[in-house]
Structure 1
Amino acid sequence: MRRSPVGHMMPAEEAKMDAIDIILPIATAIALSPLPIIAVVLIAGSPGARVSGPMYLAGWAAGLVALAIAAAVVTHLVGDIGPTGEVVLDWLRVILGGLLLWAAARKWKTRPQGLEEPATPKWLDALRQVGPGAALLWGATLAAVNPKHVGLVLAAMASLAYVPLSSGEMILSTLLLVALSSGPVAAVVVSRAIAGEAATPLLLSIEQFLLRNNDVIVMTVLGLIGMVVLGKGLSGILG
């Protein structure tokens, strides 16, 4: 087990609670990312939605798992260096927190003004007619090849590096992160599978709401998580 920054072994139950405290805000930030939800809403409205929707969800989960594993390996290797590694992890959290705050500020600066309509990414239109294979690829890409997700998952794993978890507990923590992060995407897929075409009006409402409020949602989530990550990094450096 890894020692905590204050130099004593953390009780098992306390370690598990600390892991949950780390995972919950990060998972919430990923789950509330508007564009991946808009993407699955569009796929859920496509002709082959009953197959393409679950494939998108599978790709999304696989992408998050791959990203979490990569981040865990990197932070584990750095943390195993010793005291120097712990300092590097603290500075990594400071840098990631600063980048998340910068991204939040950028969203605020570039948000639509007044009655200006928000710009809709052109690639979203391609999702209205995707097949199962393309849906799987889109899900994995939007989960793993997203700079915000990379920063958030790295921040989570850098913080988990301080928690003395067994290998099994680390795997469970990763699965919990993926499961919570996938909540809204899974909800859309399940709703479409159960309700069929009757879910279309609700899905359209969700799509329009997220498109209109994308910048505000992302700015708020990144700002809050950025402050938490930055604060933990500074606490480690100064403590």
Structure 2
Amino acid sequence: MGEAIGQILSYGVGVALSPFPIIGVILMLATPRGRINGPALLLGWVLGLALVGTIVLLVSGGADPSDQGQPADWVSALDLAIGVLLLWVAVKEWRGRARG
């Protein structure tokens, strides 16, 4: 379990440092009540990530590796499906970009 958390921790840090909360905090600080709204948004973002992470850990608690110590077969299929989905989204965004 600890190894799985170690592997996924980098993804969590990437999500937490993504530009969306940073842009949100900057926009909130530019409002008249920025000193209240900015930290409130940041706290909500962190609590939301913690809640989602807790739910994922609770739901996946019964997901053990196969007998050989390797991930189960469905894990590889899920990785492949997510990769294909992300590649499709990237191609769609690339084709829809502004030209010139």
TM-score (norm 1): 0.34
AA partner of residue 91 (structure 2): A
Distance of aligned partners of 1:41 and 1:48 in 2 relative to their CA distance in 1, 3 Å threshold: same
| Residues 132-166 of structure 1, C-alpha deviations (whole Å, 9 max, x = no match) | xxxxxxxxxxxxxxxxxxxxxxxxxxxxxxxxxxx
Tell me by how many angstroms 1:62 deviates: 0.8
Taking structure 1 as reference, are residues 76 and 91 closer, same or farther at Cα in structure 2, changes over 3 Å only?
farther
Higher relative contact order (CA 8 A, sep 6+): 1
1:91 aligned onto 2:77:
yes
Residue 93 (structure 1) shift: 1.9
Alpha-carbon displacement from aligned partner over 1:62-93 (angstroms, at most 9, x marks no partner) = 1111111222233333x14x639822222222
Contact 1:43 1:52 in 2 (8 A): yes
1: CA distance, partners of 2:9 / 2:85:
19
Unaligned 5+ runs, structure 2: none
Distance 1:69 1:111 in 2: 36
User: What does residue range 15-164 of structure 1 map to in structure 2 within 5 Å?
Assistant: 15=3, 19=6, 22-25=8-11, 27-28=13-14, 31-32=17-18, 34-77=19-62, 79-80=63-64, 83=66, 86-114=72-100
Q: Deviations over 1:47-69 (max 9, x none)?
A: 11111111001100011111112
The count of residues paired between Structure 1 and Structure 2 equals 97
Partner of 1:177: none
Identical columns (%): 29
Q: Per the alignment, do residues 66 and 28 of structure 1 end up closer, same or farther by CA in structure 2, a change over 3 Å counting?
A: same
Q: Give per-residue Cα distances to partners, 1:154-212, cap 9 Å, x unaligned.
A: xxxxxxxxxxxxxxxxxxxxxxxxxxxxxxxxxxxxxxxxxxxxxxxxxxxxxxxxxxx
TM-score normalised over the length of structure 2: 0.71
Give the superposed CA RMSD. 3.0
Question: Which 5+ residue runs of structure 1 have no aligned equivalent?
Answer: 3-11, 115-239
SS at the partner of 2:98?
A: coil
Describe the SS at the equivalent of 2:72: helix
